[in-house]
A and B are shown apart, each in its own frame.
Chain A
Amino acid sequence: MTQTHAHRAAAGKPRAELAHLLRRAGFTPTDAELDQAELLGYRATVERLLSPPPPADDEQYLVHRHLPATELPIEAAMAAPEVMWQLITSGHPLREKVALFWHGLFATAFKDGNAGVDQAAQIAMFRRHGLGSFADLLVRLSLDPAMLVWLDNQLSAADRVNENFGRELLELFSMGRGSYDEQDVHASALAFTGWSVRPGPSAFHLGARPMWFHYDAQRHHGSPQQMLGRDVANGHDVVAAIMAQPATARYIATRLYLFFSEQSPHPETVAAMADTFTLTGGDIRAVLRTLFTSRRFLDPAVRRVQVKSPVELVVGLARTAQSWSVPDHRLGELVDAAALMGQRLLTPPNVAGWASGEAWLQGANLLERINFAARLVGASALLASRAEQTGLPVLDACLSALDLDDVSEQSRDSLARAIGRLGDDGGPASGRAMTLAVAVPEFQYC
């Protein structure tokens, strides 16, 4: 271990690049994750991240056994601990990170008739299919009960068309404003009439009854309409029409770039990602491969420039500073902690998803983030022992344990002075030093 940490403290170029990749394609990396990546090398690590196995069929039972309210959850708040558990304990961080991306882009929240169990099922769908084909994802989204209820499609009928889903599918979920007209929206909405839901069987008397997709032929508008230059008669045709538009490739490439790389699109890289999208028929895995292996992504200028979203910040801390063997009440506390910083899982503020970037730091949120992190790392035996095992001086040991090897000289000097003034209260010096270290501005970024 000591040797590895010495290596890391030297912050060799490959290790810094791997840490960047792991932060963006996942969450704050643990030492074990970084060590494994270093053994594999950059390209193989990218491939490993891009090819997670599907989630195990039985993984949710552990959460249900320990937190019974998460089984057939009635409200979003009851479903959120299970999502948090997956984010924290998954051995395949990109699978979870991509699910978080789609949760933000296809933002679905609670609505009358939309139970937590349906939202949990939607997240499960993102985890299983989020790295696959975008066309497939759009079809699944159009069949997803939580989404259909959220955007009022379940009552949309030929004689009473509700355009909400048909519109957002184009505007927010696939093409972006300005690449279609009102006629396209109307055609899209007509094609989705009759795409509805009905209650599924209830498994037992407690808990919510999940919704199932239900095609209501009576309500479906049968005759084909012109949309984006083609005839569309049903939702599958709409998705096919969307996939044929260059705007879709550009829009999804841009959204992925903003989420995984930096807050302003880098034209050359986004164009390359859009080309990959077009060539592969919308293979998200291939588009992300283009990004992660691009020159821009490895440019030090894009490192530590993304403000961690509250969920990313909380998950990163929970993965590195806490031990998790079975699900417990701390999951709900972590969900609430992120909510207090402005991001409640399964409850995006509206269909456009959460704000991003520096807006997360507004006002007192910065203090909330620092104070939460200070409480967690100060109480972490795991981090303290990790820091002590490095055999490095306290400052370097703490920065290394906190994934902050790359802080600026100013931060390092300020921290060194503050740590130098720490008295001896008998506790491990590293715990108190780490409490101070999370105040550095760099901690806010990934």
Chain B
Amino acid sequence: MSSSFVVIHLAGGNDALNTVVPFTDPHYIAVRPTLALQPDSELPTLRRPGREDVPGGSGVLPINDSLGLHGALTGFRDLYEQGRLAVLLGVGYPERDRSHFRSLDVWHTAEPHQVRSDGWLGRVASVLDPQHDNPVLLTNIGRSMPLALAAPGVMAASLESIGGYGLLSPADRRGGGGAGGVAHADLAALAASLYQGRALPNPWGSAQQVGVSAIRGIRSFDAVPDRGETDVQYPPFNPIAARLEIIARIATAGVGAQIFHTTHDGYDTHENQFATQHRLLADLSEAVTVFLDDLAQRDPLDRTLILIHSEFGRRIAESRGGTDHGGAGVAFLVGNGVAGGIYGDMPSLRREDSIDGDLRPSLDLREVYTAILQRFLNVDAAAVLGKALGSLRLDRTVA
């Protein structure tokens, strides 16, 4: 049974107020003269070259009397109705930082007050695998390694395609030819003889130690089959779908990869937010739906958990057809084990309640992490976060 944990980072700062919309709040309509969405407003048909258009529809998909999902999130609405989607309102950390980098670092390290060089998932890996035997327990799908996966001694894999994780010849690892025509077996022998049998004491792991782990990790992915037991088709030209497809293949291959991190880029909508966010959220909703279908087809009892978050929400008021960097955001937790519903409080949009025009957080991201750790990953939150925070219960109690 697959019980992976997948983190999807919406990179750039997803506008929370147009993702989960307080459509009855008069302040919302007042501060969003061009961007405000309403249940009776119209989303235009989304033209997508090379693939099906997304038909237009209602601007907001209400989930209760005052809140609704962005009209593009039809898949999320269905998941919500099935009780598999938790909406986490006003998520952030004490105060807020408008820098992408610092704010993302807080999410990655779960430490709002000081700078840390290790990440919360890296610390999870140290708890689950204290001897660091599994070099692919943490796997990043993307180009650069997120801080969330870093911790002393922890190896994490990072790849953009399954055949693309390798030494010296990543692009054509499955094609037969290696670097300069060197056979893969010979490259592996070189790597092994260079890195194995040498060890230098160092908390972060010397080049030798990391090298040995990396070589074992590369070999792990050789066992991932090309498709496996599924006939689900992922949509083309949807970057987050492509990444989730890779995760589905790896997660169900039994190679030891359990915690995945990936990003969906493009949410830094200072301008032209209406069209951009429409396209991004349509891709996200479609991708997550297909991913869950795929996992269900491979294993009806799948317990995969997905956390979707951004480094911050955006400014309450719009400007220039977009929104600037802001404060609290919205996060989603999705999966068969999730007790669907709405958690946390919608932060006030009133200027006097805000932090200089930004949403004031009402739910600490460490409370969300605590719930994920204790209720889903069976990891002591204190070992990862210093102390457990809050009493959120986001899991479906097994009857």
Interface residues of A (CB under 8 A from B): 109-112, 307, 339-340, 342, 347, 349-350, 352, 355, 357-359, 361-368, 370-371, 374, 378, 410-411, 413-415, 417-418, 421-423, 425, 427, 431-433, 435-436, 439-441, 444-445
Contact = CB atoms under 8 A, between A and B. Distances in A.
B204 A362 contact: yes
Nearest to B144: A340
B207 A441 contact: yes
22 contacts: A112-B98, A307-B207, A340-B143, A342-B145, A350-B102, A350-B115, A362-B150, A362-B154, A363-B149, A363-B157, A363-B158, A364-B140, A367-B165, A410-B198, A411-B194, A417-B189, A417-B193, A418-B190, A431-B180, A435-B168, A435-B179, A441-B207
Contacts of A370: 167-168
Q: Which of B117, B157, B168, B214 has the most CB of A within 10 A?
A: B168
A430 to B, nearest CB: 10
A352 B186 CA distance: 43
Contacts of B197: 410
Contacts of B145: 342, 362-365, 368
Interface in B80-125: 98-99, 101-102, 105, 115, 117
- The 5 closest A-B CB pairs, nearest first, are A432-B180, A364-B158, A358-B204, A363-B156, A414-B193
B193 to A, nearest CB: 4
A314 B56 CA distance: 48
B181 A425 contact: yes
Looking at A355, A423, A439, the one whose CB has the most chain B CB atoms below 10 A away is A439
Given A364-B157, A368-B158, A370-B168, 9 more contacts: A350-B101, A358-B206, A359-B117, A362-B154, A363-B157, A364-B214, A411-B194, A414-B190, A422-B180
B208 interface: yes
Given A109-B99, A363-B145, A358 B205 contact: yes
B325 interface: yes
Contacts of A414: 190, 193-194
Interface string B197-217: 110001111111011001000
A418 B195 CA distance: 14
A357 B382 CA distance: 28
Contact of B101 (A347, A365, A433): A347
A431 B168 CA distance: 13
A441 B194 CA distance: 7
Interface in B114-159: 115, 117, 138, 140, 143-145, 147, 149-150, 154-159
B170 interface: yes
Given A364-B157, A367-B166, A349 B105 contact: yes
Contact of A112 (B186, B191, B325): B325
Contact of B144 (A339, A415, A431): A339
A263 to B, nearest CB: 9
Nearest to A348: B101
B168 A363 contact: no
Interface residues of B, number: 54
- Interface of chain A, helix or strand or loop or mixed? helix
Given A342-B145, A366-B214, A436-B190, A374 B168 contact: yes
Nearest to A407: B194
B190 A425 contact: no
Contact of B190 (A342, A359, A439, A441): A439
A109 B105 CA distance: 14
Contacts of B208: 441
Contacts of A347: 101
A343 B76 CA distance: 36
B207 A445 contact: yes
A366 B168 contact: no
B384 to A, nearest CB: 18
A438 B102 CA distance: 34
Contact of A439 (B156, B194, B206): B194
B246 to A, nearest CB: 15
B101 to A, nearest CB: 6
B182 interface: yes
Nearest to B190: A418
A439 B180 contact: no
A349 B101 contact: yes
Contacts of B155: 363
A38 B15 CA distance: 60
B182 A436 contact: yes
B179 A432 contact: yes
A435 B180 contact: yes
Contacts of A358: 202-207
A340 to B, nearest CB: 5
A364 B156 contact: yes
A110 B155 CA distance: 31
Given A367-B167, A370-B167, A441 B156 contact: no
B165 A364 contact: yes
B156 A436 contact: no
A436 B182 CA distance: 9
Contacts of A362: 145, 150, 154, 156, 204-205, 210
Contact of A432 (B182, B193, B203): B182
Contacts of A445: 207
Contacts of B98: 111-112
Nearest to A433: B180
A342 B144 contact: yes
A371 to B, nearest CB: 6
Nearest to A356: B117
Contacts of A342: 144-145
A167 to B, nearest CB: 13
A19 B92 CA distance: 50
Contacts of B189: 417-418
A359 B207 contact: no
A374 B179 contact: yes
A211 B313 CA distance: 29
Contact of B198 (A340, A361, A364, A441): A441
A332 to B, nearest CB: 15
A415 B165 CA distance: 22
A378 B156 contact: no
A371 B171 CA distance: 10
A441 B211 contact: yes
B144 A361 contact: no
Contacts of A436: 168, 179-180, 182, 187, 190
Nearest to B158: A364
B102 to A, nearest CB: 6
A53 to B, nearest CB: 35
A173 B191 CA distance: 42
Contacts of A339: 144
